[in-house]
Chain A
Amino acid sequence: MPPTTERLRFSAIGTVWSITTDRPLAGDAQHAISERIETFDAVWSRFRPDSLVSRIARVPGRHAFPDEAGPLFDLYRRLGLATHGRVNPLVGHRLENLGYDAGYSLVASADPVGVPAWDAVARWDGTALTTTEPVLVDVGAAGKGYLVDLVCGVLDDFGVDEYVVDAGGDLRHRGGTPVRVGLEHPTDPSLAIGVIELENAALAASAPNRRVWGDGLHHVIDGVTGMPTRTVAATWALAPTGLEADGLATALFFAGPDELVSALPASPFEAVRMLASGSVETTPFFEPALFFATAAVRDRSLDGSSAR
């Protein structure tokens, strides 16, 4: 059993958080964590009328961002290039039009707006975003994983060096003892399709089926077609940071791992994705972790996951 046994649970940004540590978190550390999340939410949440991205959606122009925005916009730019524009943070209005709005109307309008190309309407200069028309930034592709990193940073600041930060299934581990993490089956959360050991890395998952409305509508939107993706059912990515893992997990809906290397030349990563057909594509790291159908492999996987 890992030494991380103290678990702090709370709800934030629409998901359930679990922070596991080797000793109880002091009250001021807990407070700092919730402050960090709140500060992030106040900038990036498109569900809050007072957030920065909501203001940008109303008023085009030059908008200064806090320092945290740099790595996030940079990753979006890289993933946008690698996927030929299919990963695009300007899907916000399109998502709203399709029904995924602040009020969760879940009703698609008859003629939803398209997704504007980033270069056509926005420019990021490292400190500020300049927009030429009202655009709604949605960082759903990587924002949650990035917030995991920022919360890890708070724990680091408080001298915590053995932890798992889990934001509703996107998680990052630090410490000397790896943790066993199940890869949740996309249509049946009581099943895992595999188990990995996570150690000083981040693992993110994406499966749109749990948030589906209307006629196959969900929140993973192709920035080129404006339509929800259909060929990939679920993705997982392992990377050094939550930002990278989460961004990759989204990008894997649009490109294979080999096509994404160019986006993260300095960061080794691993990936697996489950297609709508039920088949699985995986990089070598995940292969021995997956529960395959053949008896020999299954025996091994059961063996590896039994309690001891």
Chain B
Amino acid sequence: MPITRNRTVIRTTLLAAAGLSAVGVLSGCSTAASTPAQGSSDSGSTSRASSSSASSSPTSDASSGATSASDDNGASSSAAAGSGSGTYKNGTYTEQGTYSSPGGQELISVQLAIHDDAVQAVTVKTVKADPTATSYEAKFIGGISSAIVGKKIDDLHVTNVAGSSLTSQGFDDALTKIKSDAADD
């Protein structure tokens, strides 16, 4: 992949579903159960957070999301690959992940509704935030939008992600766990 030098042509185009103006704010958890996902009711057969927990109180049901925070500090672990074939049980899954903010370790809870191998709805909640992290968290949560509907999980998962977020690490941790929870095997 040589880097080619060619800068005279600059195209301006509109992006797909991802347009900034299309952001519909999902505030906290209240939308978790109410957005699209009929898919969330037809199975919910995961061992972790069953769909019953989708209905929601802000932090309490997040903490029922079981698996504890992963260790980011110096621990060496192999990358979770997930199942490449990409079949997932329908249902609503909740997992927690950590990320490192300048204020310390934060815990977020990510809930996904999956139907026909596609993400129907995403909700991200702060389980426990220290005050300095709140503003970052608020933006992160506010940025989750309905634009995600229809994106395959495996399309989201690449080896690395070039982005600006501190938060994405925690999100990715949670997403990885959800993938393994939901993988048919």
Q: Which residues of A contact B (CB under 8 A)?
A: 1-2, 4-11, 14-16, 18, 20, 24-25, 30, 47, 104, 106, 164, 166, 168-171, 178-193, 195, 197-201, 203-213, 233-234, 236, 238-240, 256-258, 261, 268-270, 274, 276-285, 287, 290-293, 298, 302, 305-308
A197-B1, A258-B10, A302-B155 known; A187-B143 Cβ under 8 A: yes
Q: Does B129 contact A (CB under 8 A)?
A: no
Distance between B167 CB and nearest chain A CB, rounded to angstroms: 6
Q: Please, what's the 1-or-0 string for B147-185, where 1 marks a CB less than 8 Å from any CB in chain A?
A: 110011011101111111111110100010000000000
Could you tell me if A276 and B20 are in contact, using CB atoms closer than 8 angstroms?
yes
A9-B75, A282-B10 known; A182-B99 Cβ under 8 A: no
Contacts of B162 in A (CB 8 A): 169-171, 181-184, 203-205, 236
Contacts of B5 in A (CB 8 A): 268-269
A10-B74, A258-B10, A278-B14 known; A188-B164 Cβ under 8 A: no
Query: A283 contacts which of B6, B19, B22 (Cβ < 8 Å)?
Result: B6
Could you tell me if B148 and A191 are in contact, using CB atoms closer than 8 angstroms?
yes
Contacts of A8 in B (CB 8 A): 74, 76
**B:119-159 near A, CB below 8 Å:** 119, 122, 132, 135-136, 139-140, 143-145, 147-148, 151-152, 154-156, 158-159
Subset of 7 A-B contacts with CB under 8 Å:
A16-B100, A182-B163, A189-B168, A239-B3, A283-B6, A298-B16, A308-B84
Select from chain B the residue with minimum beta-carbon distance to A245.
Answer: B162
Distance between A115 CB and nearest chain B CB, rounded to angstroms: 22
Could you tell me if B160 and A287 are in contact, using CB atoms closer than 8 angstroms?
no
